Amino acid sequence: MRAEDIKTVAVIGAGDMGHGIAEVALLAGYRVFLRDIEERFVKRGVERIDESLKKLLEKGKVTEEHYKRIHGELLKPCVDLKEAVKEADLIIEAIPEILELKKETFREMDRLAPAHAILASNTSTMSITEIGRATQRPQKVLGLHYFNPAVLMRLVEVIRGEDTSDETMEVGYGFCLKCGKVPVRVEKDVPGFIVNRVQAPGGVLLGCILDHGIAEPEEVDALLRKLGMPMGPYELMDYTGIDINYHASLYFARAVHPDFAPAKAIEEKVKQGLLGKKTGKGFYDWSQGRPNIDLSKATSKVDPMDLLAVQINEATKLIEMGVCTAEDIDRAIVNGTGNAIGPMTVAKSQDPEALAERLERLAERFNKEIFRPTRMIREGTYR
Ligand SMILES: NC(=O)c1ccc[n+]([C@@H]2O[C@H](COP(=O)([O-])OP(=O)(O)OC[C@H]3O[C@@H](n4cnc5c(N)ncnc54)[C@H](O)[C@@H]3O)[C@@H](O)[C@H]2O)c1
């Protein structure tokens, strides 16, 4: 099969990600079956697609004709799994992050879908290999990891499980291109794939800064805002939910290295239910809207280059493992986070010896082995 052969897509799960993924495919002109387990969830997914399409219509980003075509013929909401997948060329699963549920759903999809259909998972943390092996067609299973909100974020990580065929990777990659996305190949099924993995040690360092009483969140956020970031990292954590960060840390601690375990300061916030914007309070008070960061509080006790150094280090681990290229890392970070440049571009301007020393210092100071410089950094081969 080639990407051009895909005519019909099934999206399984109509929640935050599923409705967005379906909308992206609809905008690209695909016929899309959108399935959830109850009528009301499907209906809500369709409503959310419609709300978003209407905004695009107002902005002239979708034509009246295409809008009508989506509702008239392209979008097929349903509750029955067989109806959803029986004509599909590509199926994208976006159901809750529970391994047994995903495996069971893949087993069923495998049984009900046409033999040629490719099955993709939007999982953020689970093994594509393991999900694929729940089916009789693991060579036709891959990861298509969209970012939230799927309509706006351009990156899709295209993930190869151990059994995924080259053809399946090509079809997944080509499909994303046809949807106007920026696909990046992730050649090995590693925890966190690219974007979440590269960012994870930065989160560890932010936790260390609090646990060691080096600086307050506002002092660090003020510093990074002054350097041009639209939102400081602690405010961003509040915005996305401190619990999300906490669970991601537990996951990385289990899947990669115990050093990723959540910082005490983060654990405390979660215990107290101070999760950020959604609960009205986290590091900041959100009850009156977005917090006002006092830029005059910018600290000199934190070196922003430390945050970049640990990201560069993690990025080189992915390159050493053969997961992706340096260019792919930057493409993924720029399109998946909105950062202006990627860590490997920053790395080019860094003297390897100084970078390695900086990382050794961080590893010693915070007792974190994950900060130790990689061979690529020690030998300066990343430049
Ligand atoms: N939310 C994010 O920022 C984000 C980003 C990237 C990837 N992901 C991943 O995407 C997946 C979905 O996450 P979400 O945030 O959209 O979750 P969500 O809870 O918003 O939506 C999940 C939907 O799946 C439905 N569902 C449950 N079992 C089902 C089944 N057997 N068949 C069909 N539908 C079923 C639920 O009713 C719900 O509507 C997860 O694997 C998550 O890790 C999430």
pLDDT tens-digit readout, 61-83:
999 999 999 999 999 999 999 99
Task: Ligand 1 pocket test: pick from 93, 95, 155 the residue with the most ligand atoms within 8 Å of its Cβ.
Answer: 95
Cα–Cα distance for residue pair 255/233, rounded to 1 Å? 24
Residues 259 and 179 in one domain: no
The region that residue 301 occupies, defined by phi over 0 for left and psi between -120 and 50 for alpha, beta otherwise, is alpha
Among 165, 186, 207, the domain-final residue is 186
Amino acid at 34: L
Does residue 36 surpass a pLDDT of 90? Answer: yes
Say which of 19, 23, 127, 157 is annotated catalytic. Answer: 157
Question: Which residue lies with its CA nearest to atom 2 of ligand 1?
Answer: 148
Contact present, 70 and 26 (Cβ < 8 Å): yes
Structure tokens at 247: 């669970």
Mean pLDDT along residues 34-41: 98
Burial of 83 (0-12, 13-18, 19+ CB in 10 A): middle
Exposed, middle or buried, 337 (CB in 10 Å: 0-12/13-18/19+)? middle
Is pLDDT above 90 for 35?
yes
Let me know whether 14 and 139 are in one domain: yes
φ/ψ bin of 347: left (φ > 0), alpha (ψ from -120 to 50), beta (otherwise): alpha
Identify whether residues 151 and 116 lie together within a single domain. yes
Closest ligand 1 atom to residue 35 Cα is: 33
Using alpha carbons, list the distances in angstroms from residue 382 to 159, 166, 276, 371. 23, 27, 37, 17
For residue 295, give the CATH number of its domain: 1.10.1040.50
Residue 249 and residue 335 in one domain? yes
Sheet arrangement for strand 31-35: 75-78, 31-35, 8-12, 90-93, 118-121, 141-146, 155-160, 182-186
Q: Give the pLDDT score at 354.
A: 97
In terms of domains, do 313 and 366 share one? yes
Question: From CA 232, how far away is CA 126, in angstroms rounded?
Answer: 29
Predicted confidence band at 383 (pLDDT cuts at 50, 70, 90)? confident
124 a catalytic residue? yes
Report the SS3 class of residue 381.
coil
CATH number assigned to the domain comprising residue 176 = 3.40.50.720
Same domain, 80 and 167: yes
Q: How many other CB atoms are there within 10 angstroms of residue 114's CB atom?
A: 12
Q: Pocket residues for ligand 1 (CB within 6 Å)? A: 12-18, 35-37, 41, 94-97, 105, 122-124, 146, 148
Taking the C-alpha atoms of residue 285 and residue 269, their distance in angstroms, rounded to an integer, is 13
Cα 212 to ligand 1 centre (Å): 36
Quote the ligand 1 centre to 96 CA distance (angstroms): 4
State the Cα–Cα distance between residues 149 and 17, nearest whole angstrom.
7
| pLDDT of the residue at 48 | 98
Helix pair 195-211, 352-366: axis angle to 10 deg: 50
Is 157 catalytic? The answer is yes
**In this structure, are 208 and 143 located in the same domain?**
no
Strand, coil or helix: 76: strand
Average pLDDT value for residue range 233-240: 96
**Do residue 160 and residue 33 come from a single domain?**
yes
pLDDT confidence bin for 338, thresholds 50/70/90: confident
The position carrying tokens 């990580």 is 157
Same domain for 258 and 314? yes
Say yes or no: 11 and 88 in one domain: yes
Q: Which two tokens stand for residue 160?
A: 């190869």
Based on the domain organization, do 307 and 211 belong to the same domain? Answer: yes
- What tens digit of pLDDT does each residue of 118-127 get? 999 999 999 9
Q: Which of 52, 121, 122, 124 is catalytic?
A: 124
Is there a contact between 295 and 235 (Cβ–Cβ < 8 Å)? no
- CA–CA separation, 17 vs 23, rounded Å? 10
The pTM score is 0.96
Last residue of a domain, one of 186, 208, 242: 186
Per the structure block, which two tokens stand in for 79? 């509750």
Phi, psi at 374, each rounded to 5°: -75, 170
Q: What's the rounded mean pLDDT across residues 95-107?
A: 96
Tally the domains of the chain: 2
Closest approach atom of ligand 1 to CA 15: 21
Q: Are 122 and 156 in contact (CB under 8 A)?
A: no
Q: What is the pLDDT of residues 52-63, one digit of tens each?
A: 999 999 999 999
The chain-wide mean pLDDT, for the chain, equals 97
Active-site residue, selected from the candidate residues 19, 23, 145, 249:
145
CA 360 to chain centre: 29
* 180/205 same-domain check: no
CB 76 within 8 A of CB 32: yes
Residue-wise pLDDT for 140-158, tens only, equals 999 999 999 999 999 999 9
- For residue 35, list its beta bridge partners: 12, 78
Which residue has tokens 């051009």? 4
- Please give the number of the atom of ligand 1 that sits closest to the Cα of 123: 41
- Percentage of the chain beyond pLDDT 70 is 100
Identify the domain containing residue 47 by its residue range: 3-186
Tell how far the Cα of 143 is from the centroid of ligand 1, in angstroms.
Answer: 14
Q: What is the pLDDT of residues 251-267, one digit of tens each?
A: 999 999 999 999 999 99
| Residues 339-365, mean pLDDT to the nearest whole number | 96
pLDDT score for 254:
96
Q: How many CB atoms lie within 10 A of CB 139?
A: 15
Q: What is the pLDDT of residue 156?
A: 98
Of 158, 186, 214, the one marking the end of a domain is 186
